[in-house]
Amino acid sequence: MLLEGQVALITGGVSGIGRAVALRFAAEGAAGVAVNYSRSEHEAAETAALLGDRGFTVRADVSDPAQVRRMVEQTLARFGRLDILVNNAATTRYCSFDEVDEALWTRVLGVNLNGPFFCIKAVVPQMRAQGKGVIVNVSSVGGIAPVGSSAAYSVSKAGLNHLTRVAAKALGPVIRVNGVAPGLVFTRWNADRPREAQEAQIQEAPLKMGGQPEDIADAVLFFASDRSRFITGQTLIVDGGRYMQ
């Protein structure tokens, strides 16, 4: 069991990649898995049922620092400690550069970049008091190359990749900070995209395949566990080889 007795908080954790991470953590022995959501009560209830007694759902908009602080307080009140933070919550809208307006820009960066910063700031005191902690930021290949659903999304993820490095430098040696940058993953985010566009992405990748949420969960688990104890400040691209560094 890679996470025996540990407690994790996963933002955006009730569907897609977030839910896959939550279930993988529980399977690896996590004593508590707090899953954050912002809107869907139905998906939150489903995820809680899948996690059983170790699961805990907590509603918060991660772009609001007051709600983030309350979310962390609720998690600590439930489990008494917090070992792992997974910043997975994100938002976007498919549109061209010209269609990105001030409201969309502000909202996307608020959730995708400000949110992880607020969450990191909120958990650091507890992790330092414990003497150990791990943070994993779920980014995107849109932060590596100028691709993705919108300019706002791509820029937010590029910022998140650099936040990973900055936080790793600032918070070591007590807290490790790493990131995972998925490529095409078959979640509801991509459900409405034309199959032809998805197939073109698949053919550009050496492995000629798209990913499943569980593929990303495996990478997050690696960084969350002591198997990566000598790694910090890194963002791992998980995309079948489409974007190589």
What pLDDT, on a 0 to 100 scale, did the predictor assign at position 53?
95
What pLDDT, on a 0 to 100 scale, did the predictor assign at position 148?
76
Give catalytic status of residue 94 as yes or no: no
Residues 184, 141: Cα–Cα separation, whole Å: 9
Does residue 192 lie within any of the structural domains?
yes
Does residue 243 lie within any of the structural domains?
no
Q: Considering Cα of 161, then 16, then 133, then 57, what sign does the dihedral take?
A: positive
Decide if 141 contacts 237 (C-beta within 8 A): yes
Bridge-partner residues for 180, per DSSP?
138, 236
Task: Give the amino acid at 22.
Answer: A
**pLDDT over 80 (residue 190):** no
What is the distance between the terminal CA atoms of the chain, rounded to a whole angstrom?
Answer: 32
Residues 122, 187: Cα–Cα separation, whole Å: 29
Tens digit of each residue's pLDDT (9 = 90 or more) over 26-47: 999 999 999 999 998 999 999 9
Does residue 110 lie within any of the structural domains?
yes
Does residue 136 lie within any of the structural domains?
yes
**pLDDT over 80 (residue 245):** no
H helices within the chain, ranges in order? 16-27, 41-51, 65-79, 102-109, 115-130, 151-171, 195-204, 213-224
Does residue 1 lie within any of the structural domains?
no
The model's pTM is 0.96
Does residue 18 lie within any of the structural domains?
yes
Residues 221, 4: Cα–Cα separation, whole Å: 12
Tens digit of each residue's pLDDT (9 = 90 or more) over 60-118: 999 999 999 999 999 999 999 999 999 999 999 988 999 999 999 999 999 999 999 99
Tens digit of each residue's pLDDT (9 = 90 or more) over 117-157: 999 999 999 999 999 999 999 999 999 999 878 899 999 99
Burial of residue 225 (number of CB atoms within 10 Å: 0-12, 13-18, 19+): middle
What pLDDT, on a 0 to 100 scale, did the predictor assign at position 111?
98
Does residue 216 lie within any of the structural domains?
yes
Q: In this structure, what CATH number is given to the domain that contains residue 74?
A: 3.40.50.720
- One-character DSSP codes across 217-233: HHHHHHHHSGGGTT--S
Other Cβ atoms less than 10 A from the Cβ of 236: the count is 19
Domain that holds residue 221: 7-238
Catalytic pick among 37, 94, 153, 243: 153
Does residue 176 lie within any of the structural domains?
yes
Q: In total, how many domains does the chain have? A: 1
Least confident of 28-32, 83-87, 191-195, 210-214: 191-195
Residue 199 host element (H or E): helix 195-204
Decide if 111 contacts 87 (C-beta within 8 A): no
